[in-house]
Structure 1
Amino acid sequence: MNAIGPLADYLADLERAVDEIANTWRPEDPAYRADVYRQIMMQFSYGYFAFFHATPEHPDWAPLWNPVYTLQPNPDDIYLYAPVSTDYRYRVSGSRGTVKMLAFNTQAALPGLPGEIDTTGKCYADLDDRDLQIDADGEFEILLSAQRPEGYGGNWLQIRPGASVLMVRQRSYDWLHEIDANLAIECLDPVPPKPRLSPQDILLRIRQMAAMPAAAMGLFYQMQNQIRATAGVNVFQPAPLGGALSKQVYLPAVFEFDADEALILETDVPEVRPYWNFQLNDPYFNAVEYVYRLSSTNGHFAQLDADGRFRAVISLQDPGVPNWLDPAGYTEGTIYGRWYDCDSCPTPTLKRVKFAELRQYLPTDTPVVSPEARAGELRRRVRGCQRRRRW
């Protein structure tokens, strides 16, 4: 066996992630540098699950973005990840639970994982619970394979050429009262027992873990910088339908305001709207703290005004109105909205105003939310989030 060097020798690629600071909006800002260091540790922390936990021959669920906030995970979603391959057939089985939506998709490599990132959608295949045959007791099975077996009429999800990942989204509306699904995945083809990793395999995976933050951060810094370059600041630029979820339209925008200001997000809502939400991200494409901050809302929690429109306020301090989106100390970042399988896709607007003058720009009948009511809202949020299995 060849000698094994110091662990630091296999972690050298972590420094490439530090170099990505040059692609942030404020590369000379010490606070930005510290935040990027934190982001690198977030990426690195879930890399173990990605590289050591399972293989296509021996698939198993791993948390994806739930216990960390990197790569703007949807706060309503609990994400699961399992490696798959077109060489094998798989069965996903379990109980549906009562979450708002249960979605499955196969795709090419996730950001930072080995393999090419598919930006065209050619490797994607997806379905949600409304596409599934589910027993009266909530039980179901899905067959995953490269081709549908002849005569097979059950639930089926294709693993297209180039796909290597199965993702699951357990999407909740009412965090406090919905019950998560209970799922298993197994390979249906004969495989040898799961082996002990060789020293070479271990060292390779450590190198891959170290390279993961730079690969992921480079991709998503580029995405948010492109939004800023093409749409500008405080302007929504709807993304085309498609991607990992074929029924979902994303609504990205770069937001920016001063400490004594607020942003008013305003939009019509579709008449048919199975699911929709808005969330705030920091300037590095990480979801803003969403357990102990009201940094997101969805169609269950959101309050519509008397005219049927949705209005939210983004501000550092509590504005005392419904639908406060708390940026947790950030005055710039990105906003992402989602219309899922809706009958229309309205484009929201953002209006930048002085915080002291906020109510002049809101409907006169906008309710007052007292500090006591806000505290109760946050307590319910914390309980709801912590009851969900995030890892």
Structure 2
Amino acid sequence: MEIEPSILAYLTGLESAVANLQDTWRPDDPAYRADVYRQTMTSLSYAYFAYFHATPEHPDWAPLWNPVYTLQPNPDDIYVQSPIRGDLTYRVSGNRGTCRILSFTSQKVQSGSVDVMPRPNGHNEVDDIDLGLAPGEDFSVIFSAERPAGYEGKWARIDPEAGYLYLRFRSYDWLNEIDPHLSIECLDPVPPKPRLSPEEILHRIGEMAKFPGRKTRLYYPMQNGVKERVGFNVFEPVRMAGALAKQVYWPACFRFDPDEALVIETEVPAHAPYWNVQLNDPCFNALEYVYRISSSNGHYARLSSDGRYRAVIALEDPGVPNWLDPAGYTEGGIYGRWYDCDSAPVPTIRRVKLAELRDHLPADTPVVTPQERAEELRQRVRACQRRRRW
């Protein structure tokens, strides 16, 4: 076959991601253009794992969203995925670890791999509670479309048309919880993993190049839709169907001036196994969350004396508990989650002058000193770096 002398000939699909600038909040802003270029490189670097690392017949975990691949990961989650086939049988085994939640989700196609996502996408989701996996336990689970004849062990169904299996290692106490250590095997007879032909390599490179554009065409409307329906600084809760049916999201788009702050306030459900809140940029990327405190969860949150959660978004450290650092952005997205809770309160957002912030908080709100904040950040950096990310 004739091979072009320049690899750039196979990367022209990257321009589709740049074309999606038209769907950002400020298409003509040079800072937005640079953010989209960075986002494109993020997705392209991940796409190598998606297209070259494993196959359904030869499965293996690859990193998915995390502090590097930033297209809207939950900062509490480490995501991994493997390609699978719904007509094959797989065993996932290893140690459960002690993270707050371990969940498994199968679906037909991976977002970003096709121009039009199928609806429904064949989601089947189970977590450690559904499977009866105890913290720290060694286990083995069979995943297949039908339970194998005579098999009495742990089993989870996958859709007959499933193409991917996703895992979420969801941590509450980042520093002390231990992530799972898991393998995945295909139990059906398969041929050896083949050497790729030149045609197949070039095809996959072309698909890699299309991946960033497909991804943003799917993800931009999620945050844009919130802005269009309810505007800024208003939460619009949504319950997912299929995957993560136990989870209620509370997204919002935020905006404030540099001399202002936003106060998020909510009740907390009486039964709340897990909840969190995070900040995103205007292009639906999670903000830096290793070296910035741009997210929090129910373990780290400090409730007010009246039992309510109050968080403050401000460019500068306001010296109060539950600061959410927007990492230099004065507009972007907020995503919160109630997981398997007995209620789903809708938080509120108040836009106030930063100099008057304490007038809008309970009188007994404690002071967080610069030294205390620095130690909070040091613990966060250590904790996040010790988790598996790739």
SS in 1 for 2:279: strand
3-state DSSP of counterpart to 1:13: helix
* Code of the aligned partner of 1:385: C
- So what's the TM-score if we normalise by structure 1? 0.97
Kindly provide the CA deviation profile for residues 179-227 of structure 1, in whole angstroms up to 9, marking residues without a partner as x. Answer: 1111000000000000000001100110010000000011111111111
AA matched with 1:78: I
Q: Take 1:385 and 1:137, find their aligned partners in 2: how far apart are those partners?
A: 20
Q: How does 1:217-236 map to 2 (within 5 A)?
A: 217-236=216-235
Equivalent position amino acid for 1:333 in 2: G
The answer to whether 1:277 aligns with 2:271 is no
- Judging changes above 3 Å, is the alpha-carbon distance between structure 1 residues 167 and 226 closer, same or farther for their aligned structure 2 residues? same
Shift in Å at residue 303 of structure 1? Answer: 0.5
Deviation per CA, 1:268-302: give whole Å up to 9, x if none.
11000000000000000000000000000001000
Take 2:5 and 2:383, find their aligned partners in 1: how far apart are those partners? Answer: 46
Q: Residues of 2 paired with 1:101 and 1:158: CA distance?
A: 19
Partner of 2:262: 263
Query: 1:244 Cα shift?
Result: 2.3
Match of 2:377 in 1: 378
Partner of 2:349: 350
| Alignment-derived partner of residue 312 in structure 2 | 313
1:327-342 aligned at under 5 Å gives the runs 327-342=326-341
Shift of 1:4: 3.9
- For 1:3 and 1:92, how far apart are their aligned partners in 2? 40
Shift in alpha-carbon separation, 1:166–1:125, aligned structure 2, 3 A: same
Structure 1, gaps ≥5 residues long: none
Q: CA deviation at 1:155?
A: 2.0
Change (3 A) 1:277 1:136: closer
Task: State whether structure 2 residue 170 is matched by structure 1 residue 171.
Answer: yes
Code of the residue aligned with 2:167 in structure 1: it is V
Return closer, same or farther for 1:69/1:257 CA change in 2, 3 Å cut-off.
Answer: farther
| Pair 1:25 & 2:25 matched | yes
Which residue type is aligned with residue 383 of structure 1? R
Instruction: Classify the secondary structure of the residue corresponding to 2:78.
Output: strand
- Using the TM superposition, give the Cα deviation of residue 63 of structure 1 relative to its aligned residue in structure 2, in angstroms: 0.2
Deviates more, 1:5-14 or 1:203-212: 5-14
Secondary structure of 1:336's aligned partner: strand
Check 1:318–1:137 CA distance in 2 against 1; reply closer, same or farther (3 A cut): closer
2:68 is the alignment partner of 1:68: yes
Query: What is aligned with 1:105?
Result: 105
- State how far apart, in whole Å, the 2-side matches of 1:324 and 1:230 are: 27
CA spacing shift, 1:342–1:135, aligned 2, 3 Å:
closer
1:121-147 CA-partner distances (Å, limit 9, x unpaired): x61111111122447961111111112
Q: Give the deviation of 1:87 after TM superposition.
A: 2.1
Equivalenced residue count is 390
Alpha carbons 2:98, 2:136 under 8 Å: kept: no
Q: In the TM superposition, what whole-angstrom CA distance separates every residue of 1:303-327 from its partner, at most 9, and x where no partner exists?
A: 0111111000001000100000000
Structure 2 CA distance, aligned partners of 1:154 and 1:338?
32
Partner Cα separation in structure 2 for residue 208 and residue 316 of structure 1: 39
- Counterpart of 1:231 in structure 2: which amino acid? V
2:19 partner letter: D
Deviation of 1:173 after TM superposition, in Å, equals 0.7
**CA pair 160-293 structure 1, distance change in 2 beyond 3 A:** same
Q: Establish whether residue 251 from structure 1 lines up as the match of residue 272 from structure 2.
A: no
Aligned partners of 1:31 and 1:183: how far apart in 2? 40
The aligned residue for residue 90 of structure 1 is: 90
What is the deviation of 1:158? 1.7
SS of aligned partner of 2:166: strand
Question: Which region of structure 1 is more displaced relative to structure 2, 258-267 or 123-132?
Answer: 123-132
Contact 2:98 2:135 in 1 (8 A): no
Q: Which residue of 2 aligns with 1:6?
A: 6
> Relative to 1, partners in 2 of residues 1:305 and 1:206: Cα closer, same or farther, differing over 3 Å?
same
Q: 1:76·1:171 contact (CA, 8 Å) conserved in 2?
A: yes
Aligned 8 A contact 2:97 2:136 in 1: no
1:199 maps to what in 2?
Answer: 198
CA contact (8 A) 1:291 1:382 kept: yes
TM (norm. structure 2) is 0.97
| Structure-2 separation of matches of 1:174 and 1:22 | 40
Partner Cα distance (1:212, 1:97) in 2: 33
> Structure 1 residues 130, 294: CA separation in 2 closer, same or farther (over 3 Å shift)?
same
Aligned match of 2:42: 42
CA contact (8 A) 2:107 2:162 kept: yes
Shift of residue 71, structure 1, vs aligned partner: 2.0
Distance in 2, Cα, partners of 1:68 & 1:18: 20
